[in-house]
Amino acid sequence: MCGAGSRARIGYAQILPEVRMKAPIRVAVTGAAGNIGYSLLWRLASGNCFGDDQPMILQLLEITPVMERLNGVVMELVDSAFPLVHDIVATDDVNTAFRDADAIFLVGSRPRSKDMDRADLVAANGPIFVGQGKAIGESASRDVKVITVGNPANTNCLIARANATGLDGSCFSAMTRLDQNRAVGQVAAKLGVPAAQVQDVFVWGNHSDKMYPDLRKAVASELPAMGQLDLAWVREEFRRTVATRGKAIIMARGASSAASAASAAVDHMRDWWKGTNGRIVSMAIPSQGWYDVPEGLVFSFPVTVDASGTISVVEGLEIDAYTRDRIVENIQDLESERSAVAELI
């Protein structure tokens, strides 16, 4: 007579034979007991990001005073009995969290309050990314994929990358996918079509209110989106709504966006992990001088990702005077953030 455990193992092997074939990857999440973490971990564990055939070991980092809360999150993860989760490490030690990590979500940091801009967080959050960057350089897999979510995301990514000795800049990115998704949501609502009908929307620059959501290549219901939209709406209301959406959510909810941020982080990492199959998406990555963006600035570009995980900036897009002005505005914004953290990089 089999016990319950044996029956569960037989069922598992029959239903998910491929799960047993892939080696587990190591996925680190910082700020794992925070609001974004509480949404993100369940999406990762369900297979939404790395695939429903990819087991994982979750490596969760929190600051020491928050370890008991993290313990509660771990209890709930265990209680969710995810077939893909092979182990969970909960720690307040950065090197333990990043040890051999294949993917890292840098979320842990303070969110802004109603009276702040994202850049105001640089003094509070910037130093976090010095130690975490060093630990990534020391402990993570040599081809780790790092997404920076904590604000100001582009500049925190710049700090982490600068401190991660021995790792290539191509391991680092910051999230502007939430801005892209917001832009898609606004266009879909304006045209009265499902979001899936809106493609090739991307965002240039900084995850700040200077960001430039670009619709020039966008397609809605298989037709050019710009042909269906009023230029004044695109340049004014649309751009302002997308760029200030984070603040609008804080004012309405009393807390910074969390579920949509987690969802965007999953979209970003899934596209990096599996490729975009030709779709254009937005990722903030260390510039190599593309579109005259100074080398090293972590700048959101239109990119595609191939099946091996190599990110390529979409080159050769027409840069009209309006677009050039928006790019320059974002360069200046990011250069000013970089000056503010000069002692951390």
In the range 98-137, which residues lie near ligand NAD by CB under 6 A? 107-112, 128
Q: How far apart are the first and last CA of the chain?
A: 63
Binding piece for ligand NAD, criterion CB under 6 A, among 16-24, 138-146, 196-204, 257-265? 257-265
Q: With contacts defined by CB under 6 A, how many residues of the chain interact with ligand LMR?
A: 10
Q: How many CA atoms lie within 13 A of 131 on its CB side?
A: 14
Residue 301 phi, psi (nearest 5): -125, 160
Binding piece for ligand LMR, criterion CB under 6 A, among 10-18, 110-118, 162-170, 318-326? 110-118
**Dist. CA 81–CA 85, nearest whole Å:** 8
Least Å distance, CB 148 to ligand NAD, is 8
Q: What separation in angstroms does the CA of 344 have from each of 53, 130, 136, 275?
A: 40, 7, 16, 33
Binds 46: which of ligand LMR, ligand NAD, none (CB < 5-8 Å by kind): none
Binding piece for ligand LMR, criterion CB under 6 A, among 5-13, 14-22, 111-119, 312-320? 111-119
In the range 51-90, which residues lie near ligand NAD by CB under 6 A? 61-63, 66
Binding mask 16-55 for ligand NAD (x = CB under 6 A): --------------xx-xxxxx------------------
DSSP H stretches of helix in 198-317:
231-233, 239-243, 245-253, 259-274
In the range 169-188, which residues lie near ligand NAD by CB under 6 A? 175, 178
Among residues 109, 156, 256, 300, the one that binds ligand LMR under rule CB under 6 A: 256
- For 279-309, the DSSP string reads --EEEEEE-SSGGGPPTT-EEEEEEEE-TT-
Residues with catalytic function: 207
In the range 163-222, which residues lie near ligand LMR by CB under 6 A? 178
The 8-class DSSP code of residue 173 comes to E
**Dist. CA 18–CA 5, nearest whole Å:** 20
Least Å distance, CB 335 to ligand LMR, is 20
**Dist. CA 154–CA 163, nearest whole Å:** 15
**Dist. CA 297–CA 228, nearest whole Å:** 34
Task: Give the residues lining the site for ligand NAD (CB under 6 A).
Answer: 30-31, 33-37, 61-63, 66, 107-112, 128, 149-151, 153, 175, 178, 207, 256-258, 261
